[in-house]
C-alpha cells in the first residue's frame, strides 16, 4: 500500500524532466488503483502527454527518464505512459489500454482539453458491451452510460 503523495511534487518533477529534454508538456493524468482504490494501490500510474515524439526510441527514453526521476524522488513504484497528442487520441478509444480510465482518473495538468477527448471514449464505451477483467469483471459500458447521464 502507498501513502499519500504530493501531486504538486509529481507535476513539478515531470515538468522539470520534460523541459530539460526539450519537450512541451501538454497534459498529466493520474489513473489506476491509486485514484480509485487508494488503500489497495501498489503503484502510481501516470499518463504524460508532450507536444511531439519523433519515434519509439524517444518515447521509451522519456518514459525511462521520468520513471527513474519519480521513483527516486518519491520512493514509490511508478508506471508512466508517454504519448504525443496524436497517439493519445488514438488510444482514447474503446478496447485500448486507456479504456480503464472510466474507473477513475485525476488530471494534474491540462493544456489540451483532456476531458473533451475522454468524453468521446465514454460515448464509445457506452455503445458496446466492454468488459475489463482485473481480478473480477467490470462492465465498462455500464460505467460509461452512468457517466454520460451526469
Residue 128 forms part of a structural domain: no
**Which of these, 149, 2, 140, lies nearest to 70 by C-alpha position?**
2
**pLDDT exceeds 90 at position 40:** no
Residue 42 is placed in which grid cell?
A: 501498489
Angle between the N-to-C axes of helices 56-74 and 7-20, in degrees from 0 to 180, rounded to the nearest 10: 140
Q: How far apart are CA 43 and CA 32, in angstroms?
A: 9
In angstroms, the Cα distances linking 88 to 56, 67, 110, 149 are 14, 19, 13, 25
Share of the chain above pLDDT 90, in %: 48
Q: What is the mean pLDDT of residues 95-105?
A: 80
Nearest to 82 by CA among 9, 6, 18: 18
In-domain check, residue 27: yes
pLDDT of residue 60: 94
Could you tell me if residue 121 is inside a domain?
no
Residue 36: pLDDT band (50, 70, 90) is confident
In a domain, 41, yes or no: yes
Is residue 6 helix, strand or coil? Answer: coil
pLDDT band at 39 (very low <50, low <70, confident <90, very high): low
Q: Answer for the pair 34, 41: CB distance below 8 angstroms, yes or no.
A: yes
Model confidence band, residue 98 (pLDDT cutoffs 50, 70, 90): confident
Q: What pLDDT digit, counting tens, does each position of 63-86 carry? A: 999 999 999 998 889 999 999 999
Distances in Å between the Cα of 2 and the Cα atoms of 13, 76, 96, 103 are 19, 8, 27, 19
Counted domains in the chain = 1
Q: Is residue 75 part of a domain?
A: yes
More confident site: 131 or 33? 33
Tell me the percentage of the chain whose pLDDT exceeds 70.
79
What grid cell was written down for 104?
Answer: 477513475
CATH (domain of 83): 3.30.460.10
**Which residue, 12, 23, 29, 15, is CA-closest to 115?**
29
Structural domain that includes position 57: 7-113
pTM of the predicted protein model:
0.81
* The pLDDT of residue 1: 46
Amino acid at each position: 500500500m502507498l501513502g499519500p503523495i504530493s501531486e504538486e511534487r509529481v507535476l513539478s518533477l515531470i515538468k522539470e524532466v520534460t523541459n530539460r529534454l526539450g519537450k512541451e508538456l501538454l497534459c498529466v493524468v493520474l489513473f489506476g488503483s491509486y485514484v480509485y482504490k487508494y488503500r489497495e494501490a501498489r503503484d502510481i500510474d501516470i499518463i504524460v502527454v508532450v507536444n511531439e515524439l519523433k519515434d519509439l526510441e524517444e518515447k521509451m527514453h522519456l518514459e525511462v527518464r521520468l520513471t527513474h526521476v519519480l521513483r527516486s524522488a518519491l520512493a514509490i513504484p511508478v508506471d508512466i505512459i508517454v504519448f504525443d497528442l496524436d497517439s493519445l487520441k488514438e488510444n482514447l478509444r474503446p478496447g485500448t489500454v486507456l479504456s480503464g480510465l472510466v474507473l477513475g482518473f485525476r488530471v494534474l495538468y491540462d493544456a489540451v482539453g483532456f476531458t473533451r477527448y475522454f468524453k468521446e471514449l465514454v460515448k464509445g464505451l457506452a455503445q458496446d458491451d466492454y468488459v475489463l477483467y482485473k481480478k473480477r469483471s467490470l462492465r465498462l459500458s455500464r460505467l460509461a452510460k452512468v457517466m454520460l447521464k451526469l
